[in-house]
Amino acid sequence: MNARALALHSPRAVREALIAAGWDAVRADAAAEGSAPAALQLTGLELPALVALVRYTQELGIDLVTGDDWALLSGSRARLGALARPWTVPPELAGIAEAVGTVLAPSPPTHWLTATGSIALDQPVIVGILNVTPDSFSDGGRFVALDEALAHADRLVAEGAAVLDVGGESTRPGNEPVSEAEEIRRVAPVIEALAKRHASIPLSVDTVKAAVARAALSAGASIVNDVSSFRLDPAMASVAAAGSAGVILMHSRGSVATMARLDHAQYPSGVATEIVAELRLAVDAAVTAGITPDRIVVDPGFGFAKSAEQNLELTDGLAALAVLGRPVLVGPSRKRFLGSVTGRDAPDRDVATAAACVVAYERGARLFRVHNIAATRDALAVAHAVRHGH
């Protein structure tokens, strides 16, 4: 008899062992995903439910740690999923079963629908940043002229950007607000030219203004990237819905002028927990406005109303966003929290950015908004090959 350990940080080892034993790929994939470890916390438990939970989790083989009115459960996704069935558990556990079902992450989406087609998420998708602003924190003023912006877009695409995100207003601390007319003047000509120059590349507009989004969609954009998750302009959701746009809902707090500061960086329930709750509200509001779930991507908002330590905590806890059932985009590119770790200035944080993206990929992110495409592309290519074997 022989025994060997199987790594469970990704489904690859279990999947390959099952395929080697003769299972077909579909069954092996399902079993491997079910074997992945998961954990959750329950609070506010009544004593009868807690006693019943202790007995029932022993039957299911779920690890359990309890207190007076709380419990921590851990085990495979398949075993925890068996607890999330109100119709099979004892009556006193029906409420717990429903609660567990709401926090167990569904299967990750495989595609993201935009106004110009579907973006496959079976491999990391890199979103290239094209700032046409004079005051962006990293590359402000470098690509304001149309020919400079187009030349930089050419480089981003050549290096592997699958999406281009065009922004005409900076969110750096202390920035001056930009009028609708000025922002449209900055982004619309660039998007119109890019739509002709790179017809196969989906274009995103980074704006919090409905009028700018409308102009950008008319010019050829297919995605609206709103760093306020539609908080700051009530008309934004209807514009995105009318344009059949893909949308990126980013977590932030405060106005454009304050969201990159620490004025609202309080997360008493935990940074990932509160971000999930606030993004859930944003997703629900978008769906209510007529945007179908398959068009929605969520972004935890690295660097926005979050301290350096909170950004690191968020990176580690990013897998919590999977419960929203939407693809996750991250934008750690050259952010200050990477400087706090490395001691490097913004232009020299591309290696740190690539490292952060790899960690985010391992925790479920599939879209990566960055300045330096090549470094991140190579890092993610290795991470993907290790995880999937190709």
Looking up tokens 């999406």 gives 163
Buried/exposed code over 287-309 (b: 16+ C-beta within 10 A; e: otherwise): eebebeeebbbbbbbbbbbbbbe
SS3 220: coil
Residue 163: both structure tokens together: 């999406």
What's the pLDDT score for residue 390?
66
Which member of 214, 363, 369, 377 is catalytic? 369
What's the pLDDT score for residue 142?
53
What's the pLDDT score for residue 358?
98
What's the pLDDT score for residue 383?
96
- pTM for this one? 0.92
Strand intervals (E) in 140-266:
163-167, 203-206, 223-226, 246-250
CB count within 10 Å of CB 78 equals: 16
Name the packing angle between helices 350-362 and 373-388 (round to 10°): 30
Residue 303: both structure tokens together: 């660097």
* Known catalytic residue at 280: no
Residue 31 is inside which H or E element, if any? helix 25-35
What's the pLDDT score for residue 107?
84
CB count within 10 Å of CB 128 equals: 26
Q: What's the CA angle centered on 170, arms 319 and 263, to 5 degrees?
A: 65
**Rounded Cα–Cα distance for residues 287 and 42 (Å):** 28
What's the pLDDT score for residue 176?
74
* Known catalytic residue at 79: no
What's the pLDDT score for residue 21?
93
Q: Which residues of the chain have pLDDT under 50?
A: 137, 139-141
Residue 93: both structure tokens together: 């556990």
What's the pLDDT score for residue 144?
63
Residue range 184-201, pLDDT digits in tens: 999 999 999 999 999 999
Q: What's the CA angle centered on 247, arms 191 and 156, to 5 degrees?
A: 45
What's the pLDDT score for residue 36?
87
What's the pLDDT score for residue 137?
46
What's the pLDDT score for residue 124?
98
Is the CB of residue 85 less than 8 Å from the CB of residue 63?
A: no
What's the pLDDT score for residue 170?
84
**Rounded Cα–Cα distance for residues 358 and 360 (Å):** 5
Name the nearest CA neighbour of 304 among 352, 261, 362: 261
What's the pLDDT score for residue 106?
85
SS3 186: helix
Which member of 209, 326, 335, 349 is catalytic? 335
CB count within 10 Å of CB 10 equals: 15
55 CB-contact burial (10 Å; exposed 0-12 / middle 13-18 / buried 19+): exposed
What's the pLDDT score for residue 174?
66
